[in-house]
Amino acid sequence: MKAAGRDAAITRISESIDAKEVIALAQELIRVPSVYRKEHQVSARIMKKLAGWGFDPISVPVEGFGPCVVCQHGKGKKHSVGLNGHMDTVEVKEGWKHDPFGAKIEKGMLYGLGALDMKSGLAALMIAFKTIAESGAKLDCNVRFQAVTGEEENSAGIRTLIVNGFFKDVKATIVGEGIGGLGVITHGRRGGSYYEIDVIGKSAHGSTPHLGVSAIADAAKIITALDGMKMRTSNGLVADSGKRLAESQLVLRISGGDVSYSVPDRCTLRIMRATIPGHPIDITKDLRRVVRGLGLRSRVEIKMQMGPGDLLKPYFSPTDSELVNTARKWIKHYTANNPRLVCGLSEADDNQVAELTGVPVICFGPGERGKLARYHQPEEAVKVSQLGIASKIYCSTVLELASAP
């Protein structure tokens, strides 16, 4: 089929999507609480919904979390195209005026926990998946839908799917989380590396502090020095803030001291460095260099953490790739705007897909910018006008990708 005829056929299928159905499904998902590690009910709801549409979904257990849901249209093809989204949310933050599980629509905005992050995107993905299957279109690839758990904590769900082989035949993945809305394609992300800095001082009676070495006092000096470290900047990559992509660093935790009246002889810092493509992901040497320059009396040990979720490598999908170009084409078709290509400041499941599978991955969907971008904040809300359009874009992009061997 020639490109013009193929595009016309794809458009006819995608235009059959009813925005009201997408909005209603998003409301249904928001009304089911699914704070990370407590995703069991929403997972069951999605399983039931897919089964009711005539699919045969699979529930994939995830240790410590609710099960993931995997569903496939087509079989026997060499490759698959993936639609991926997470079911979990953060906890309810202080300051909500609307019921966080009410899914109320007010002045064109859908309010609720997960409205942005990312149950609206998940609903749009599900309706796109259903529409593709019901269309009867002959495809050269299978289409696989995945709803995962644990994204808000340590990406346990996506890692479970990877380990169990659900990405072995995937040639491209679209994640439906829309930081910045439909005017943006996240084609890469910063990574994240974590470090424990143990400061070991010398105990002494609190009445004679000069006889000891305060680990807390030396830890405070380290924190001040860390704030002065120069962050690297990427050449050519733009952050979702619109600025050049750069590293950042944060002290996540400080703990130490005793109940007794003693000079604290131990203090521990947990540090996170957001890393960028093309630059080191292990900055242990940099941290040691900074500490050595302080001339501390305490002994300092620095260790990069290597546990599950402790190391996420940065990535980016090339701007001229088939995946990026196809998504750009259909976003422009449905919004009349050419989307910006950005690298996300926050690491996410995308990092795991890119690093552990090598599968090209991008992220886009319904979302907000500026003051409305209340991700992980009270009064989370999304413009309902985006939801049907997002589903049509997913549908069209996947249909084109799955039409090519």
Per residue of the chain (405 residues), give pLDDT as tens. Answer: 688 899 999 999 999 999 999 999 999 999 999 999 999 999 999 999 999 999 999 999 999 999 999 999 999 999 999 999 999 999 999 999 999 999 999 999 999 999 999 999 999 999 999 999 999 999 999 999 999 999 999 999 999 999 999 999 999 999 999 999 999 999 999 999 999 999 999 999 999 999 999 999 999 999 999 999 999 999 889 998 889 999 999 999 999 998 899 999 999 999 999 999 999 999 999 999 999 999 999 999 999 999 877 889 999 999 999 999 999 999 999 999 999 999 999 999 999 999 999 999 999 999 999 999 999 999 999 999 999 999 999 999 999 999 987
Buried b (16+ CB within 10 A) or exposed e, 16-50: ebebebbbebbbbbbbbbbebbebeebbebbbebb
- Closest to 181 in 3D by CA, of 399, 393, 400, 396: 393
Q: DSSP readout, 126-157?
A: HHHHHHHHHHT---SSEEEEEEES-TTTT-HH
pLDDT for res 42: 98
pLDDT for res 245: 97
Q: Please list, in sequence order, all residues whose beta carbon lies within 8 angstroms of the beta carbon of residue 7, skipping any fewer than 6 positions away.
A: 400
3-state secondary structure (DSSP) of residue 66: strand
Question: What are the structural domains, with CATH classification, of the chain?
Answer: 3-189+314-402 (3.40.630.10), 191-307 (3.30.70.360)
Return the number of other C-beta atoms located less than 10 Å from residue 244's C-beta.
14
**CA gap 238, 244 in Å, rounded:** 5
3-state helix, strand, coil in the chain (%, to 5): 35, 25, 40
* Three-state SS sequence of 212-276: CECHHHHHHHHHHHHHCCCCCEEEEEEECCCCEEECEEEEEEEEECCCCCECCCEEEEEEEEEEC
